[in-house]
Amino acid sequence: MGGGCCGTLVAVHLLRQHHPAHIDMIDERIPGRGLAYSTAWDDHLLNVPAVRMSVFGSEPMHFLEWLRTHGRPDASPDCFAPRKVFGSYLQDVLNDAVRAAAGTCRFRHHYSRAARLTYDGRVARIALVDGERIQADKVVLATGNPAPFSLEPAVPGCFHSPWEPGALTGFDPDADMLLVGAGLTAVDAFLALQAQGHRGVVHCVSRRGKLPHVHTLYRTLPDSFDAAGTGGARGLLRAIRLRARAAEREGYDWRAVVDSLRPVTNDIWCGLERCEQRRILRHLKTWWDIHRHRMAPEIGARVGAAVASGRLVVHAGRLMGVEPDGSRLRVGITLRSQAPLSLSVERMINCTGSDENYRRSANPLLRSLLESGRIRVGAIGRGLETDRHGALMESDGTASGWLFTLGPPRVGGLFETTAVPEIRKQAEALASYLFSIVREPEDVPVDYFLAAGI
């Protein structure tokens, strides 16, 4: 359920096992074109260099080689390709996998949405919004990042996210805009406004008023970060700072230290007490995010120039209220200095990114799964709880034998789980696991084959 990056990669890895199977993918969008890779704008670049974006961990040059044979012969390992190009890559990889497995697997894409999912102890039944019904032995929930936290009150000119239809088009090019948030989503929105000919001032407001850092070329550290004995949030922060200073003395960039945490981030996270995890989310995550989720150099240069020229103004503060003011919006902000700020803007666009609290999810499918106890929210209130394979935990704490997930929902137990390097690993492992537990064909009820038209 869901054919974005995660759904596509699970399908690819299932198909590549050449194990007889019937795979149904449900998504109203083209495979691979979820939130991140469906963007229409060329300026929306990947924030990870091409050499780290292969969908196959065992073939690190796969994406780079694909780029070189698909219109970018000069692509370098350090280049940052447009996200929409990565969407085409995902689609291509899936098409190849479907073709190569044609003798053993049947793959079907249903251009629709899953509305309801039930399980009778043997078979899962999925009702699609167009009335079609599908049965399956195993189901992978791959519906992506949850929608952002809703900013109240909703008045005309306020958009819940930059991806809401009309949020980034049809504006007065000289009018000022307000983006709530200053992370990569706000940067995306700023770039899209610029691409549409916006000439006014774009204001961003976030609690800390910090834009993401920029990628540079640097030497990687020989070893992963050693977090032994660092204790909780405070000790970890101290250790990272010390390591960054020492690394700089040795001629490394601080970015190399941040990257050296990547292979061990989830182990460190899982070893922390819940109260320490909460402390990190409350006090350190914003800082972590701006160091870890960096802008491509060319985007950093454009954003830097816009800040220098006053076209992009970043405020550290808190949104206090918004009300209609003629054809505009009057927005009240309390700055970190406690000084009030009043802005007159044409639009206010929520760029705070996905809301990881699934209890607030407005997605009817997730709501019904939560209400029926088929899934439960992660221990500290974010994401969904799963076992180590991605089997979703039911409300009574048992791991589902038929419903699985990967990627963004797994923030219920992991810290790093949304980027391609993590997703590809989870997708491959989940595909192998599903075949290891799937029932033998003679056990599959006859109505499965009838429903599938076999």
Ligand X SMILES: Cc1cc2nc3c(=O)[nH]c(=O)nc-3n(C[C@H](O)[C@H](O)[C@H](O)COP(=O)(O)OP(=O)(O)OC[C@H]3O[C@@H](n4cnc5c(N)ncnc54)[C@H](O)[C@@H]3O)c2cc1C
Site map (CB under 6 A) of ligand X, residues 418-437, x = contact: xxx-----------------
Q: Is 393 in the site for ligand X (CB under 6 A)?
A: no
User: Which residues within the stretch 120-179 sit at the binding site for ligand X (CB under 6 A)?
Assistant: 142-145
How many C-beta atoms surround the C-beta of residue 302 within 10 A?
18
Smallest distance from ligand X to CB 45, Å = 7
Smallest distance from ligand X to CB 278, Å = 23
Cis peptide, bond prior to residue 173, ω within 30 of zero: no
* Region from 31-39, 69-77, 96-104, 201-209 binding ligand X, contact rule CB under 6 A: 31-39
First to last CA, the chain: 21
Nearer CB in complex with ligand X: 110/279: 110
Angle at 337 between CA 336 and CA 338, to 5 degrees: 85
Site map (CB under 6 A) of ligand X, residues 345-384, x = contact: --------------------x-------------------
Own/partner pairs for 96-104, CB < 8 Å, 24+ apart? 97/11, 97/12, 97/15, 97/16, 98/15, 100/15, 100/16, 101/15, 101/16, 101/18, 104/18, 104/19, 104/20, 104/21
Question: Which listed residue (13, 113, 138, 292) binds ligand X by CB under 6 A?
Answer: 113
Report the distance separating Cα 190 and Cα 211, nearest Å. 12
Smallest distance from ligand X to CB 262, Å = 11
Token pair, residue 37, equals 């890779």
Report the distance separating Cα 391 and Cα 173, nearest Å. 48
| Sheet strand arrangement including 202-206 | 158-159, 347-350, 177-180, 202-206, 312-325, 328-335, 340-345
Q: Is 412 in the site for ligand X (CB under 6 A)?
A: no
Report the distance separating Cα 446 and Cα 253, nearest Å. 61
* Region from 22-30, 248-256, 328-336, 445-453 binding ligand X, contact rule CB under 6 A: 22-30
Nearer CB in complex with ligand X: 230/405: 405
Residues near 304 by beta carbon (within 8 Å), at least 6 away in sequence: 214
Nearer CB in complex with ligand X: 5/23: 5
Q: Is 1 in the site for ligand X (CB under 6 A)?
A: yes
Show the beta-strand stretches assigned E in 360-411.
391-393, 399-405
Q: Is 3 in the site for ligand X (CB under 6 A)?
A: yes
Site map (CB under 6 A) of ligand X, residues 180-219, x = contact: --------x-------------------------------
Sites of contact with ligand X (CB under 6 A): 1-7, 26-29, 34-36, 46-48, 113-114, 142-145, 188, 365, 407-408, 418-420
